[in-house]
Amino acid sequence: MCKGLAALPHTCLERAKEIKTKLGTLLQKPDSAIDLIIPYPEKPEKPAKAQKPTPEEAFQWRNSLEKLLQNPYGLASFRTFLQSEFSEENIEFWIACEDYKKIKLPAKMEEKAKKIYEEFVRSEAPKEVNIDHFTKSVTMKNLVEPSVSTFDLAQKRIFMLMEKDSLPRFVRSNIYQELVK
């Protein structure tokens, strides 16, 4: 049944040789062995910590979803609130669209557009956002030739939905009330 190493595809043999070489190196240099297995940056990057807003700053968010989303602490607080209500798909979609707009390479843009569509827009998507049929069909047509504006209409609809529905609930939440004290 087993025909030996010669029966394996050439790429498998090459990969086996690479693994053998790395294992040999590991056995010879125990001090630096971890470097071969787990690459890591010289200085680990710490994510920038969002600064807590003053009560006055936070108070401005009650009437402006745009100001809330522009503030890193506000965005994080709003997202936490939506997660507590099991309705974070809207903010996740909005963030995905913002990230998408920053992509410069057409191939990456196309790849990200498909991912956003599959995750948020298509019917029965894992995190399907609530957009009307017209908006969904415009978005699908835009996917034929993805551009920076592919998701603009859908993103505007979701923004309006969050502004009318989620923002008032957030403003009444304990999370927000603690910020304006």
Q: What is the pLDDT of residues 15-55, one digit of tens each?
A: 655 555 554 544 444 444 334 343 333 333 334 567 899 99
Q: What is the pLDDT of residues 148-175, one digit of tens each?
A: 999 999 999 999 999 999 999 999 999 9
pLDDT value for 7: 57
Give the C-alpha separation, 111 to 114, whole Å: 5
Mean of per-residue pLDDT scores for the chain: 82
Q: Which two tokens stand for residue 34?
A: 């971890």
Whole-prediction pTM: 0.71
Q: How far is CA 149 from CA 21, 90, 138, in A?
A: 49, 18, 11
- The better pLDDT of the pair 9, 104 is held by 104
- The better pLDDT of the pair 29, 99 is held by 99
Q: How far is CA 22 from CA 9, 15, 25, 165, 171, in A?
A: 21, 11, 5, 56, 56
Question: Of 25, 45, 52, 53, which Cα lies nearest the Cα of 37?
Answer: 25
pLDDT value for 50: 74
Q: What is the pLDDT of residues 68-84, one digit of tens each?
A: 999 999 999 999 999 99
